[in-house]
Each structure stands twice: as C-alpha cells, then as structure tokens.
A and B are shown apart, each in its own frame.
Chain A
Amino acid sequence: MSPNPNPRAPLPIKVLAGLGVVLIVLPLAGLIQRAAWSSLFEDLSSQAALDALQLSLLTSLAATALALILGLPLAWVLARSKLRGRSIIRALVLVPMVLPPVVGGVALLSAFSLRSPLGGWLHDVFGLQLTFAPAGVILAETFVAMPFFVLTVEAAIRQSDPRVEQIAATLGASPAAVMRRVTLPTVAPAIGAGAVLAWARALGEFGATVTFAGNVAGRTRTLPLAVYLALESDPNAAIALSLVLLVVSFAVLVSQRERWWNNQ
C-alpha cells in the first residue's frame, strides 16, 4: 500500500496532460473522420493499393525474419558473452533507432549502390542489385527494425538467471540442449514481443526505403510510400491506406498489452 494512493494533481499538470492526450488523439480522430467509408473497399482494392499492400507484407515479414535470425544470436552475445568492446557493439547496433531514417538510407546507398565498391561487386559477381529492388527494401527495413528486436531480447536474456542454465547442465543437458530447452523458452515471450515491434517498425518504414530503394511501383513502393504518393492524386486512397496502417498499429499494441498496459 502506498501511503497516498490517490494524489490530487495540481490543475496546470492536469491541463498539460490533457493537452498531451489531445495532441495524439486529435489527428487519429481526424483520420477516421475524414475516411470515405462508402468507397473504402474500392480504394483498398485498386491495383496500386493491392500491390503496395502485398509488397509491404512481404518485405516487412522478410525483414522481421532477418532481424530474428541475426538479432537473436546478437542479443545473446550482447547479454552473455564477456567479449571486449561489447558496449561499443551495443551502441553501434542501436544507432539506427536514433538515426534519422533518411540518413540511414543515404548510408545504405553509400555502401550498396551500384557505384559503391561493395554494391558493384555484388552486382558483378552475383548479379544482385539492391537499389530499386525489393531486396533493397528488405535491407532498409531490417536496418531500421533490427535494433528494436535486439534491445527487447537482450534485456530478457540479461534478466534471466544464468544459474538456471547451470542447473540444466548439472541435470545432464548439453550446451545445445540448454539453449534449446531452457534459454530460448525462457525468453520466448520477449522474442515474440521483439519480433512484433520490429515488424511494426519495418511495416511503417519510409525514409530509409525511399532514399535507398527508391519509389518504384510494384517493386519498392511499400504502403507508406503509396500513402505519400496518393496524397497528391487520390486523397481518399491515401486515407484508406493510412487506416490500414493504423489498424495494424493498434493490433500490435493489443498484442503487447501484457507488456505495456499492465504496469501497475
């Protein structure tokens, strides 16, 4: 029991807090109010919209998978290994979280464009071109989204007691069995949460994608890019696509309610 369970907030604080809520809710309400509900289905089933939707789903899921495959071992190393320079690696890995996405796009461009040594080599040897291609979208989305996954999972691994793994070893579990039957199941909820977070971030990615992969219909024009483009020509379609993204965001929040809502 806290000594003062219901402190009365001073009026200015209440007003400012209320304004904060309004600032966030008002635009969302505007979006819903402006939606042309009667033509919603039509707007969403246009070829351009369907293409963007399909591309977004595909690339964001691929980016999430990539973030998982690379991010899980990375999170484990950051949480458990006694590697020197571990904190520097962590700082580097988390840079995309605070970096303006456009800068991320420029960075990717400098590393992977056809004119860069690496990009040129990839093209010459494997025939692989990342710019103006879905693969480039996936790379841009992974670049931006993976830190969310790594951060979430690393915290969970750090919090799990390494002595539980030691007990598993005394019971006869090989290191691989300890990882498979104890470590991973223990942090499974965090892996799920991190994947959902990373996926939501990948789905909404705009700046890095448009800078690095361009805005090619059917190849790199994801939902956010389609929304931005449609705003000029077909505002109703833009709002319809925005609603789709809003619904997805809410779904992510609901799926994570244990994590973010039950903070009492």
Chain B
Amino acid sequence: MSLNLSIKKSLSERFCLEVELSTPPARTLAVLGPNGAGKSTLLNALAGILAIDEGCIELDGRVLDEPRSGTWLTPDQRNIGFVAQDLLLFSHMSALDNVAFGLRCRGMSKTQAATRSTEWLNRFGLEGLENRKPRQLSGGQAQRVAVARALATDPDLLLLDEPLAALDVSVRHQMRRELRGWINEYSKPTVVVTHDPLDALILADDIAVIESGRLTQIGTVTQVSAQPRTPYVAELFGTNLIGGTANGNEVAAGRATIVSAESNEGPVFVSISPNALSLHASQPTTSARNCWSARVSEVSMAGQSVEVKVQTQEGLDLRIGITPAALAELDLQPNTNVWVTAKASQVQVYAA
C-alpha cells in the first residue's frame, strides 16, 4: 500500500496548490504548514471532497482522481478513513452507531456491525459508553470514537486533520501517545495534517512542509527537524537557520563567517540550536571557534526557558536559549551589548 500524488488545484486566482509526493506503505506522513498553506485542500483532495484540476492521485496502484483520463472516484468509492479536526461525529447517533455507520454502509448486517463496533470501542477503552450520544462524551472519548469510526472500515488510507487541536492541553499529551499506538497498529499509509511540530515529531515518520501551496521540504522527521530548509521550518523546530557559501570549514553568510567542524563546498544551510549558543556579558576567553559581538533585540519566555533574540555586528539574526537564572545574572535588556559563542562541533552544515 502506497500513496502517490501529483496534484494541482486552484482555489482562487491568488491561491494554487501544487504538490508532488509519495509515501511508502505503513509510514505516517505529517503535513506541516502555516494557516492557509493548502494542507486542508490536500486532505480534501485525497478524501474526494475536492476534485483536483491536474495531476493524479494514486493509492496502492488504484487511481482515485486523474482529470486527464477522466477518472474520478467519489468519497464513498475510495475507502479512506477521515478524522476531521472538530471530529464531526453524527450527533443523532450513539457512539456504537457512529462506529457501525461505515460497516452498515458496506452492507454488513446490523448485529454483525454492532458486534464489530463494540470490539472497536473496547479496544479504544470505551467499554460501557456504547449508547452515549456524542454530546455526552468527553473530548478525549469523542476523539477515540472518531478515530475508531474511521478505522472500523479498514480504510486503505487514514487521513487525520489536526487530530489533537480540539482537545484540552491536559488530555492532548495522553491522546497523542494513544494515537501513535493506533497508527502503529494500522499497517497502511497515514497522512496527518498539523501545525504543531510536536504532533509531527511523535506521530509521524516523515514530514512534508507546505508553504503557500508549494512543497518546501520533505524528509524523515529527523532530517526535517535537524536540517530545516526554510525560515518557517527553522522557526517551527526552534532552530537558527542561516544560508551561506561553504569553503572548507568556513561558511560565508553575508558579512559573517561561521566556523564548522566538518568541511563543505558551495551553497549550504547552517543550522545552530538555540541551546548550542552561549551568551556572555563581556568578551569571553573561550575555545569556541565562533565568537560574535551582538546586540539584544528581544527577550521572551518560551515554556520554561528564556529566548533571547540578538543581531550580531555582522548582521546575523540569532535566537539563544538560556535559563531564567542566567537572564537575571546577565541583566539583559533590549539593546544590551553581548557576546555570543558557539563551538564549531555544534554547527550543522548541509548542502542547500
């Protein structure tokens, strides 16, 4: 089972989604992107809610949508499981009937569908809630019903649209872990659309980044998170991304020079984790190969740590993670002059 797609879909004169990608079987692809990037359009095209303008969507050798050959399968012919952001459970049906809906549509008898659906509910830890209506379920329970409903028909492709966005933060972590377990047991391709990098890191094997309707980066979770190729991805995974030209151990980025441990040639990206950078009030005596004079532009809290944004004299914009204690000690204000150091071994350089 694999998914191959090459699609072009205009939604307006100003917005057009043009994406080409494929996922191997049993792998989960996270589609990340800012709001309005075209993530939902992609999911709707896969589900058959939207028809594409050009290209082809192929699932396990079966063509779902190909305008050139006039092939178009309606949603009910595709055998796809779809979990929407706001779940969209059938409010007039019990939890059991929600899960049984797809099985009944496939002609399964009422008793058989009920038996199977009960098994699904039990598997998802929903014993005894068979007869509850969706409004009588907690957010986490409703989420489980929605996933069970999508998986009960044994779909060839599972689509998850912001699957955790509707949940309280308190249950989101637990649900993310459970969701990972269910996806692992499901042996066919899964596409999960999200704007939360943590969802991508925990749920997915691969990440595809879509920005303004274009695929800007694709790779394994490790590759994309460690080696971002666009400012958006760098921001998402909280790292510093600098473009430059490598010549041996040195990368020229504008007026700045960055020293790395490995040697490279030609156009490259440099990625430095905020935690790999150190801040000093005065010029340090250090073995670090990179040492820049800089000016603080912004100080903000990011979770439990402090993020300091600085601009070096050479014009590099860097974000640096420090502890609140360090912040107090350094007495940082906007426009404070500081020194920033980074060890060459902490500087990642990869071909652009």
Write the residues of chain A forming the contact surface with B, with a CB cutoff of 8 angstroms.
Answer: 161, 163-164, 166-174, 177, 181-182, 185-186, 188
A161, A173, A177, A185: residue with the most chain B Cβ atoms closer than 10 Å: A173
Shortest CB–CB separation between residue B289 and chain A, in angstroms?
55
Q: Is the CB of B92 within 8 A of A171?
A: no
> Which of A163, A170, A173, A177 sits near B81, CB closer than 8 Å?
A170
**16 A-B pairs, CB-CB below 8 angstroms?**
A164-B90, A167-B82, A168-B101, A169-B75, A169-B76, A170-B47, A170-B48, A170-B75, A170-B81, A171-B76, A172-B79, A172-B105, A173-B101, A174-B105, A182-B90, A185-B93
Q: Does B330 contact A (CB under 8 A)?
A: no
Which residue of A is nearest B97, CB measured?
A181
Is B92 within 8 A of A166, CB to CB? no
Set of chain B residues within 8 Å of A167, measured between Cβ atoms:
82, 84, 88
B331 to chain A, nearest CB (A): 43
| Selected contact of B47 from candidates A164, A166, A174, A185, CB within 8 Å | A166
Say whether B74 faces chain A, with CB atoms less than 8 Å apart. yes
CB distance from A118 to the nearest CB of B (A): 42
CB-CB < 8 A to B149: which residues of A?
171
Question: Are A177 and B105 in contact (CB-based, < 8 A)?
Answer: yes
How many angstroms from the CA of A171 to the CA of B88 in the assembled complex? Answer: 12
Q: Is B91 an interface residue (CB 8 A)?
A: yes
B29 interface residue, CB < 8 Å from A?
no
> What's the least CB distance linking B316 to chain A, in Å?
46
- Closest residue on chain A to residue B74 by CB atoms: A169
Residues in A neighbouring B90, C-beta threshold 8 A = 164, 168, 182, 186
The answer on a CB contact under 8 Å between B92 and A186 is yes
Q: Quick check: A172 and B102 within 8 Å, CB to CB? A: yes
Please name all residues of chain B whose beta carbon is closer than 8 Å to the beta carbon of A185 when the two chains form the complex: 92-93
Task: Give the docked Cα–Cα distance between A182 and B91 (Å).
Answer: 9
Q: Given the complex of chains A and B, what is the CA–CA distance between A167 and B48 in angstroms? A: 10
Contact B75 A164 (CB under 8 A): no
In the assembled complex, the Cα of A20 lies from the Cα of B339 at a distance in Å of 78
Known: A163-B84, A166-B47, A166-B49. A171 touches B91 (CB 8 A): no
With contacts A182-B90, A186-B91, A186-B92 known, is A170 near B105, CB below 8 A?
A: no
Asked if residues A181 and B76 are in contact (CB atoms below 8 Å), the reply is: no
Please name the residue on chain A nearest to B155 by beta carbon: A170
Given A166-B49, A171-B102, A172-B79, 5 extra CB contacts under 8 A = A167-B82, A168-B90, A170-B47, A172-B105, A188-B92
